[in-house]
Structure 1
Amino acid sequence: MTDDDLTDDALQKGLLTAIIVVLMVPGLVIEPGPVTEVVGVAAIGSVWGLDLTGDDGGGES
Structure 2
Amino acid sequence: MQFSFDNQQQTIMGVAIADRQCCRCVRDAMLFNVYEDWRPTVSDVQRAAQEAQDAASRANRKFKEEFQ
Structure with more helix by fraction = 1
Normalising by structure 1, we get a TM-score of: 0.41
Q: Which has the larger radius of gyration?
A: 1
Normalising by structure 2, we get a TM-score of: 0.37
Q: Which has the higher contact order (CA 8 A, sep 6+)?
A: 1
